[in-house]
Amino acid sequence: MARIVQKYGGTSVGDVERIKNVAGRIKLVRDAGNEVVIVVSARAGVTNELIARAKALCANPSERELDQLLAVGEQETIALTAMALHGIGVDAVSYTGAQAGIFTDKGYTKAKIKTINPKPVEKDLKAGRVVIVAGFQGIDEEGQITTLGRGGSDLTAIALAAALQADKCEIYTDVDGVYTADPRVVKTARKLDEISYDEMLELASAGSKVMQSRSVEFAKKYGVVFEVRSSFNQNPGTLVKEEVAYMEKVVVRGVAVDKEQAKIVVSNIPDKPGSAAKVFRALADAGIVVDMIVQNIGRSGVANLTFTVPQGDKAKAVKALGPVLKGIGGGEVTVLEQIAKVSVVGVGMKTHSGVAATLFQALASGDINIELISTSEIKISVIIALDKADEAARLAHAAFDLDKI
Amino acid sequence: MARIVQKYGGTSVGDVERIKNVAGRIKLVRDAGNEVVIVVSARAGVTNELIARAKALCANPSERELDQLLAVGEQETIALTAMALHGIGVDAVSYTGAQAGIFTDKGYTKAKIKTINPKPVEKDLKAGRVVIVAGFQGIDEEGQITTLGRGGSDLTAIALAAALQADKCEIYTDVDGVYTADPRVVKTARKLDEISYDEMLELASAGSKVMQSRSVEFAKKYGVVFEVRSSFNQNPGTLVKEEVAYMEKVVVRGVAVDKEQAKIVVSNIPDKPGSAAKVFRALADAGIVVDMIVQNIGRSGVANLTFTVPQGDKAKAVKALGPVLKGIGGGEVTVLEQIAKVSVVGVGMKTHSGVAATLFQALASGDINIELISTSEIKISVIIALDKADEAARLAHAAFDLDKI
């Protein structure tokens, strides 16, 4: 007997038929003698419908009311999933985030989990029930409903797996696992059997949309091994875990493309100590995640700062930069949107030289100009023109023999 | 400054435009300097959609999961209503049943309110906020979500008005108030300015669908005066309150038709003491509300029992009767569905004789046969053929001069 946490995303529970399919899968796991905890998202589309109604009523809805609103999506799914299990003779009980003891801070729309009280869920598990928990939501200590932000249901599953000391954690989605590249772009992309937390994190920040970074970070911090797999077939997925020795033999594990970034150039900043710090402090205070920072000194006494931000944050970034540039005595802001970030990721590159050279050579062979470069121990990212992104991914994928491993 | 509780039903908040309309009405009341508490139902249709999904997954859904499911309808509306108010510059905050401190017993799908803790709502009222409370739902002492059953949002409003010692309680619906008869059937029906709790109760039990009995009973018990009125115009509605002397001068206040009853005849029961008690105990244990009981002794030693039940309960009633008839040694069950109950209601009839005679004469003038009669202090009901029901209502309405008062 194992204790298993499974998470099903919005597509997997999109309608009554799909919920029945999920219930059937759960029954198999339950009947094999396991203790089963299920985390579900809102049915696909529900969250967007709710947000559309909210925006129709108020241009800038209160975050507290947004959370109050959005939490209903998952609450619907938990009850329906429990009923689907009852319908096929499986004892099951649903829990909202609050009922499951998922306590968060007060950060509406992007709350952080502070503690989980595993006792109520454990009691029902011991009584032989499948426990269905609403993903994405929690409660603060005053009883206010909070939501965890994008990828919140994955986070709920991984946090519950940690709190319940589960033997397995399975994240079901509409793809078979983590691929060496997006199979829609790179036809020769292959599914990976295993990937390390760090590689998964770099892939996530590089724009691979399988999971949000924070869930992977949480799993890494608490040592939760999880598997990403499809709810539409029985194929094995990709296991995400601490890196193991043999992983390092492979230089590059995957190629990711992110087309949702904008490049911001702040030029002609007075080159004084602390100028850059003030710029990035202002962006951080505005809640903007900045990626790929490059500074270079231009003509005497002035510097240029270049960085990327998510496209959705570009207006907020420009607004935040206004006062700070005035304060430090100058600087002009230019925003460039027609760009993409292409990254190669792999723990193996830590000990292999020449990865950058191989990547740059591959891009050069396609006549692709590199606008910006940033590197980490296990990732190299380049900014290139948006319309060259898919071609760049194919070239890089081939250059690192990812279709052959 | 007055403290006002308003309740808006599902039709009034059916879509984004209607929620905006409701928000505009609330703003007027708020801007006049009042403290305002709003109770809302689920958007029209939402509850039925949720139930349809539930039934598609499980023939007989668990009541606990049904409540978990149905509570989302109101939770959506409270958040949207708060946002609509924010959108027009009105400070507002939404409360689920749990957050509003509405504690109930554990009777899932038909929970009874045990206590309301008014403090959180009062705190927000004193801070100048409009408070939006989810109707129909509460929480038990273990933190389980419960719902109050049909008409539950009205009950929430009236119970909150009592707990908050509100000056006014207004139940907004899609009709202008309480009429002397259904205006779709009786063209000369008039809206009543006032009606007593008891008359309203008898009208409700007689099939007038304006409100459920339990809300009126609660209002009567706690002396909550409330007004039934339309959210689609500014017409005054009908005030429901303790009867006052002048009400008694009017003999009959209204005519109601109930087409949702079935007549059950249990014939040839051994006429022994306790037989009838056993029959009705079995029906009560099955949760069936029985109306209009008539017993008559037929041929020597056997009795016939006739009564009406809601059509939805007829199968359950027949099932419940099987074992009990076996136990008392015989009896056959016949179910008749093509019937209707027509009732005339009025506190005045307590002190006026001849009401029954006038009613029976009116029906006779239309050649309508009476199958069953039952009377209370302020109501006379008759069972007649279903296809004569509308004509009976018109004849009774005219006979008691209800179009002339």
Give the chain A residue whose CA is nearest to the CA of B21.
A57
Q: Which of A68, A80, A83 sits opposite B94 (nearest CB)?
A: A68
* Angstrom distances, CA of residue B356 to CA of A374, B220, B350, B371, B404: 93, 27, 11, 15, 20
| Chain A residues touching B71 at Cβ < 8 A | 75
Q: Which of A54, A68, A93 sits opposite B78 (nearest CB)?
A: A68
With an 8 Å Cβ cutoff, are B65 and A57 in contact? no
3-class DSSP state of A283: helix
| B351 vs B98, higher pLDDT | B98
pLDDT tens-digit series, residues A343-395: 999 988 877 778 888 899 999 999 999 888 888 888 999 999 999 999 999 99
pLDDT tens-digit series, residues B131-151: 999 999 999 999 999 999 988
Give the chain B residue whose CA is nearest to the CA of A78.
B69
| Chain B residues touching A137 at Cβ < 8 A | none
Distance from CA of A75 to the nearest CA of B (A): 7
Give the least confident one: A29-33, A60-64, A273-277: A273-277
- Amino acid sitting at position B281: R
Q: Which of B19, B68, B79 sits opposite A79 (nearest CB)?
A: B68
Distance from CA of B63 to the nearest CA of A (A): 10
Give the chain B residue whose CA is nearest to the CA of A54.
B80
| Chain B residues touching A84 at Cβ < 8 A | 57-58
For residue B228, what are the β-bridge partners? B171, B238
Count the Cβ atoms, other than its own, within 10 Å of residue B268.
Answer: 15
pLDDT at site B210: 78
3-class DSSP state of B220: helix
CB neighbour list of residue A380: distance below 8 Å, 6 or more residues apart: A343, A344, A349, A355, A356, A359, A373, A374
Distance from CA of A143 to the nearest CA of B (A): 7
| Chain B residues touching A86 at Cβ < 8 A | 58, 61-62, 65
User: Contact B9/B210 with Cβ under 8 angstroms?
Assistant: no
Task: Report d(CA A343, CA B262) in Å as an integer.
Answer: 72
Q: What angle do CA B160, B133, B205 make, to 5 degrees?
A: 55
> Average pLDDT in the A176-183 region?
91
pLDDT tens-digit series, residues B184-193: 899 999 999 9
pLDDT at site A26: 97
Q: Which residues of B touch A (CB under 8 A)?
A: 16, 19-20, 23, 50, 53-54, 56-59, 61-62, 64-66, 68-69, 71-72, 75-76, 78-80, 82-84, 86-87, 93-94, 96, 98-99, 143-145
Mean pLDDT of chain A: 92
Give the chain B residue whose CA is nearest to the CA of A88.
B58
| Chain A residues touching B143 at Cβ < 8 A | 98-99
% pLDDT > 70, chain B: 99
Q: What is the DSSP letter of A103?
A: E
Mean pLDDT of chain B: 92
Q: Which residues of A touch B (CB under 8 A)?
A: 16, 19-20, 23, 50, 53-54, 56-59, 61-62, 64-66, 68-69, 71-72, 75-76, 78-80, 82-84, 86-87, 93-94, 96, 98-99, 143-145
- Using the predicted structure, report yes or no on whether residue B259 has a pLDDT greater than 90: yes
With an 8 Å Cβ cutoff, are B87 and A62 in contact? no
Distance from CA of B148 to the nearest CA of A (A): 18
Task: Report d(CA B325, CA B330) in Å as an integer.
Answer: 5
pLDDT tens-digit series, residues B324-363: 999 888 889 999 999 999 999 998 887 777 888 889 999 9
- Using the predicted structure, report yes or no on whether residue B301 has a pLDDT greater than 80: no
pLDDT at site B290: 86
- Using the predicted structure, report yes or no on whether residue A403 has a pLDDT greater than 80: yes
Distance from CA of A211 to the nearest CA of B (A): 27
| B374 vs A118, higher pLDDT | A118
| Chain A residues touching B59 at Cβ < 8 A | 87
- Using the predicted structure, report yes or no on whether residue B32 has a pLDDT greater than 70: yes
- Amino acid sitting at position A160: L
For B254, counting Cβ atoms within 10 Å of its Cβ (0-12 exposed, 13-18 middle, 19+ buried), the class is buried
> Average pLDDT in the B388-397 region?
95
% pLDDT > 90, chain B: 73
> Average pLDDT in the B154-168 region?
97
CB neighbour list of residue A376: distance below 8 Å, 6 or more residues apart: A202
Give the chain B residue whose CA is nearest to the CA of A90.
B58
pLDDT at site B298: 62
pLDDT at site B351: 78
Task: Report d(CA B232, CA B21) in Å as an integer.
Answer: 8
Confidence of residue B403 (pLDDT cuts 50, 70, 90): confident
pLDDT at site B362: 93
Distance from CA of A17 to the nearest CA of B (A): 8
pLDDT tens-digit series, residues A103-124: 999 999 999 999 999 999 999 9
**Phi then psi dihedrals of residue B84, to 5 deg:** -60, -40
User: Contact A364/A352 with Cβ under 8 angstroms?
Assistant: no
Sign of CA dihedral B97, B100, B105, B111: negative
With an 8 Å Cβ cutoff, are A76 and B50 in contact? yes
Task: Report d(CA B346, CA B198) in Å as an integer.
Answer: 9
pLDDT tens-digit series, residues B203-245: 877 777 778 888 999 999 999 999 999 988 999 999 999 987 7
Q: What angle do CA B92, B95, B97 make, to 5 degrees?
A: 155
pLDDT at site A211: 87
Residue with tokens 């609509």: B84
pLDDT tens-digit series, residues A124-160: 999 999 999 999 999 999 999 999 998 899 999 999 9
> Average pLDDT in the A227-242 region?
93
Q: What angle do CA B94, B100, B101 make, to 5 degrees?
A: 165
pLDDT at site B405: 59
Distance from CA of A229 to the nearest CA of B (A): 25
Task: Report d(CA A161, CA A135) in Å as an integer.
Answer: 13
pLDDT at site A221: 94
pTM for the whole structure: 0.83
- Using the predicted structure, report yes or no on whether residue A309 has a pLDDT greater than 70: yes
Structural domains in chain A plus CATH codes: 3-174 (3.40.1160.10)
Confidence of residue A68 (pLDDT cuts 50, 70, 90): very high
Give the chain B residue whose CA is nearest to the CA of A51.
B80
- Using the predicted structure, report yes or no on whether residue B299 has a pLDDT greater than 70: no
Give the chain B residue whose CA is nearest to the CA of A143.
B99
- Using the predicted structure, report yes or no on whether residue A79 has a pLDDT greater than 90: yes
Task: Report d(CA B133, CA B78) in Å as an integer.
Answer: 6
3-class DSSP state of A198: helix
% pLDDT > 90, chain A: 73
| Chain B residues touching A87 at Cβ < 8 A | 57-59
pLDDT at site B404: 79
With an 8 Å Cβ cutoff, are B75 and A78 in contact? no
pLDDT tens-digit series, residues B35-90: 999 999 999 999 999 999 999 999 999 999 999 999 999 999 999 999 999 999 99
- Using the predicted structure, report yes or no on whether residue A282 has a pLDDT greater than 80: yes
With an 8 Å Cβ cutoff, are B54 and A145 in contact? no
- Amino acid sitting at position B205: S
Confidence of residue B399 (pLDDT cuts 50, 70, 90): very high
- Using the predicted structure, report yes or no on whether residue B13 has a pLDDT greater than 90: yes
Number of inter-chain CB pairs under 8 A, A vs B = 104
Confidence of residue B122 (pLDDT cuts 50, 70, 90): very high
pLDDT at site A122: 97
pLDDT at site B48: 95
User: Contact B226/B158 with Cβ under 8 angstroms?
Assistant: yes
Length of chain A: 405
Confidence of residue B7 (pLDDT cuts 50, 70, 90): very high
- Using the predicted structure, report yes or no on whether residue A299 has a pLDDT greater than 70: no
Q: Which of A53, A143, A144 sits opposite B80 (nearest CB)?
A: A53
Q: Terminus-to-terminus CA distance in chain B, angstroms?
A: 35
3-class DSSP state of A110: coil
